Every structure is written in structure tokens, then in C-alpha cells.
Structure 1
Amino acid sequence: MASVQLERVSKRFGSTHVIDEVSLSIDHGEFVVFVGPSGCGKSTLLRLIAGLESISDGDLMIGGKRVNELSPQERGVGMVFQSYALYPHMSVYENMAFGLKLGKASSESVAERVNETARILQLEALLERKPKALSGGQRQRVAMGRAIAREPDILLFDEPLSNLDASLRVQMRNEIARLHGRLGSTMVYVTHDQVEAMTLADKIVVLNKGHIEQVGSPRTLYERPASKFVASFIGSPSMNFLEGTCRSTDARETRVELKALGEVVLPYGVDSNAVGSPITLGIRPEHLTPVQATGSDAFEVINVEYLGNESCVYVDSDAEAFLTCRVEADTPIARNDTVSLRIDTAQAHLFDEHGQALARAQDSAL
């Protein structure tokens, strides 16, 4: 079973803690994606699993076996890097066979595994070509094939699509998803692109400054972020944040006073300790609707982006830099219009002054 268990794993470079006591379980056959801003430690954590970096503290288990001191070859992992790292003088076949030959596999076994991998990745017609004769997407499939041909227990991907253009990234995302469905192997994938994370992952691990902020399914992280950091990182466009104060709360509703929008009543209760304290209300762009301005509650539209299937309306909210609304593509709203803003209060999130999500009373009762 190709499960992965990290038990309080840390990595230090001198006095700098890059990974700080990370504990995480990855089940056999899961597709897990590490996301986070640059420098958060996601690539270092992947390299610790691969054995390309040594662990400073803690234990790494693969298939129930402690592997801290084992080499990458002994761990049964295959890795696909951001750069294709193909040998330019070798054909596609030779690149894919290279690791197998180093492992002393028989020529018959090498041919069988390379040809089967080429079939899975639709590379059969390209086996005699050199890398310079391939497109970026084809080169990345060859790099994946080189890792897969060794039949590793775990496949590790370090930002494999970052060098591709937008259309190729979409194509390769589907290729990787299909590959996971065919192989059923454990896959761990690092990306800074939260769209890749949302579309590929069974489980997302959000990292921040060397520690885990939240682990969960894409839907859980989108609909129930555990912190303001997660809420801001997951979702595109990003969540809107409005500063204010919690005025009252009970089992059924919470009243908050927002600097930009005044009083808002949310249809759920939170911890009574929040009353009187500063809070941040978070609302996704699709749950913030611009409507015809009424009374003093009026804000200027600073830009409208037409995106084909939808439009994004950016509103100057006085107290905030700007707020983003996701609306129908054919919206009549235009730049310099004056609008009011309507919040879907059932979809609003509250965060305390430390950026942690305030649990809803209904959630606590579950």
C-alpha cells in the first residue's frame, strides 16, 4: 500500500525553519495537491518525501515503513519536475528507458514497460523523435512517462505545467487526471496555481510559512475555509474582505457593523465571545451583487471586465481598496456607474481579529 505518513516533520536550513512540524496522512491512491504562496515550503516538503532533501526532525513513513534514511530509489517514488530534464541526444524511447536500464531491468522488461507507458500517454508515434522535435506538452508527457515506466508506488509532481501556455495547461491537467484514473497510484502534486489544485485534487493541503493552514477537499476549502489566509488563497477572483465589529449573536443570527456597508444580519450564530470584537466579513465575488444605487449606500464602479461567460465588476467601496462582484456576462453595469451592493448573507464568512474562521452554531452542532 503506497500510503504516506508525515509525523511532525521539520526541515531547517541553518537557523531557518522551512518546514515546521508538519503532520499529514496521504492514503493509497489519493491525489493530493500542495498549494501556497512562493516560499511557503511546498516544494521542500515534496523533496523531503522524495528523499532529495534530508529530514531535520520527525518521521516519514511510506507504506507503513520509516524511510528517513532511504535513498530516492529505495523509496519507490517517481518525480516529474518543472523543467522537463530530458536528455537532448536521446530519443523519446531512450529517455523513458534510461531509469529502467540503470536499475538493471532486462531488455525485454524495458521494452514492455516503455511501450505500455507510451500507449497510456499516447506517445507511441513519437518514440523515435528527439526532444527538440517535440512540443512543450509532448515533452512534459515524456517526462511523466520516464517516471511512470519505473512503476513507482508514488508519483510526485513539482509544478509540472508552469512552463506551458494556458491552453496546454488545460490539456495537460486533463491528461494527468486521466492518468490518475488509469493507474490508481498515489500522486502528490505541487502548484502555485489554485485552479490546478481545485480541478485535480482529491485533497488539498494549504501551506503557509512552513506549516499547514488547512487540509480538505476542494469544496470544503472553498465553502468552509478555516482562516482568512485560506479564504484569500482559494478561489479566483479572490474572496472580498470587509472590516467591521460583531454587535450581537444568538443561535439564529449574528449582527455585524461593517465600515463600508453598515449593519448586516447573518442567518447563523457564532461564538458569543466575538460580540464587541473586531471581525472581518468574507464574501465570494459570486455572492456579492451590484444593484441600482439606493439612498446613501452608493459606490462607484471602477472597472468591468467582460470574460465571455461572465463579467467581473470592480467597485470602489471607500473603506476598502475595491470589491469584486461576479455577474452575468451581459450585465448592463458600466464603468463610472453608481451601485449599491447586496450580500448573500447565508454565504458570508466571519473571521476573528487573528484571521481564524468563526464557526457557525449550526456547524458546531453537527
Structure 2
Amino acid sequence: MAMTRVRPGRATRSLFKSRGRPHGVSHAARHRDTAVIDWAAYIDGHRVRTGTVADAVRLIRDGRLTPAEQESAGFVWVGLHEPSATELTELAEVFGLHPLAVEDAIHAHQRPKLERYDDVNFFVMKTVGYVRKGPEGPEVVETGEIMVFCGPDFVVTVRHGAHGELGSVRERLERDPGRLALGPAAVVHAIADRVVDGYVNVADAVQEDIDEVEEAVFSPERTDESRRIYRLKREVIQLKRAVGPLAGPLRNLGARRFVPAEIKEYLRDVEDHLTRVREQVESYDELLNPILQAHMTQVTVADNRDMRKISAWGAIFMVPTAIAGIYGMNFDFMPETEWRFGYPMILGVIGLACLSLYRGFRRNGWL
């Protein structure tokens, strides 16, 4: 593996000189005085534990932990979570990271991309998670970011957000020394594979919600699903923004010279998975549109049905109201006002007219 020249020793010695290794990833993420989650030097695919990040860098760059040790080859993998500008600047000084890439890694909110600065490749990926907002709240798509600085003898991963934890990725790679011996490109592939697997899991969860809302829309029970459909459309758009733009950078990554042929085969598999999940997410938007149209049509039909019922009952009650209003005018010469059976007769006429209207509306489907 090609190795870069050793940077000045002063920068290496000052790198996190007062910081020790965090104990546990989850605990370190909550209660830490440094953004460093984990680090290690890897030689021939095997992890070499060191006391500090500076020791790992010296082991790879200088080829020794002490002057008496022999030269060694390998790479350093440093993982950070939401680092400060100071912490990332210290790393940039040691590994020779470009200021523009460092600025992007600090402020985050970047589109997926792959850029090259001299011998360092800067790879940005969006991470996604499907989480519930509150005990009774809806599930929403939350996004984060993973930035990867990949050089000839180092990998620096910068993670933003609560998703995309890389501890399991590191453990899985360390169980396969043959893969890890392929160098930093193996780490980049494993991270990309982890991110795309997250896309697949979230896409499947969104699919379940879409199936549920589709069943609710076409069920005989009358429910208002418009708010849920609009929320799902918003989550699908959020997912598309993360999945879609990654296709180009992932394809370009497979064409880079620093990627061994063995890793390129695995990258093509990741790209295939990304293509499938991208098509799956795009189909969600196409599926939600007719579901929304069908729901709005059902709402319109239900409203028309309600209006017909209201109109029919209004017409029925208009008959007794009209007759009672006429006889309430108190004229002397009203028909049948002096007849003994006039009152029962009027009640009978009212009842017969209302019954006739009711049967007519019922026969026409208005009631």
C-alpha cells in the first residue's frame, strides 16, 4: 500500500494529547469531552490498539511506537461524532485535510457527493432513520450525515445526527481481516453498504405505513386520512432527497484508482441495492398520489351523500311547516276551520305527505 510522507511531529504529538479513549460508544456519545468515538491502527487487516490517536498515527506514519520498533504499514481509522471546529482542525493538520472539506464536515447539511483534494477523497452520504415523535406521535424520516475523508493511509469518519452508528461496521470489518487488509477503500465500502442498508430498512417501514393508509382509505369505515397521506408524502420526499443524489457519487467512487478491484465488485452490489431502493421510493410518490385522489373523491362523495340527506329531511319537514304556517294566519274564512274533524284531517294530510316524500327519497337513495 502506498504511504504518504510523515507530517511534522509537533502536530502528531499535540493531537488529542489530553484525551483518552471513550468507554463505550453509546456512553461516549452522551457523556464525552471529545468528539472521538473510536480509533485504531490497522496493519495487514488486524487492529493494533494504541493509547491515543497520536500513537496510532505515529505507528502508521513513523512505523514505530518507540524508536526501537521496526517500520510498519497500514492505515488509521478515526471515528468522530459531531466534532467541533477545533477538534477537526487538529485532525486536518495531521492528515492534511483540505480546508473546504473540513468546513463542510463541521457545518454538515451537505448533499451526497464525492470530491478529491490531492490524494484525499471526501465522500458525503446522508443517513436516514424512521423514528416516532413522542409516545403517541407519528413516525417521521430523520436524516443525518456521514462524511468520510479517505487518504492513502487513513480514514476519518465524521458523523452528524443520531443515525448511522458505525460501531457495528467496525466490528464486522475487524472479523474479516482479509477484507480490512485491502486498505481504506474497504472501510469506505462498508460504510456505504451500512448507509444503503439503512435506506432499505426505512423504505420498508414507509411501505408498511403506505399499505396501512391504503387499507384505511378503501375500508368501509369512514376515516379522515388526508393528514396522514400528506405526512407520508413529506416523508417520501425527505427520503428521496437522501437516496437519489447518492447514485452519482457512488458510481464515481467505483471508478477511482485507489479502490482495489475486489472492492469495486462489492461497490457494484451496493450500487445495485441503491438503485432498487431509489426506484422503490419513487414508486411510493406515484402510489400516494392516486391514494390521495381516491380519498378526496371519497370525501366528496360522502359530503354529497350528507347534503342529499340534509336536503331530503329539509323537504320532509317543510310540509308540516308550510301547512302550520298557513293555518297560523288566523283568517276567518279558512277551509275546514269550523269542521269537527278538521284538525285530525290536517294532521293526516301532513303525515301522508311526509310519508310519501320519505318513501320517494328512500327509493332514490337519498335516505
TM-score of the aligned structures, taking structure 1 as reference length? 0.28
Greater relative contact order (Cα < 8 A, sep 6+): 1
Higher radius of gyration, 1 or 2: 2
From the two aligned structures, give the one with the greater helix fraction. 2
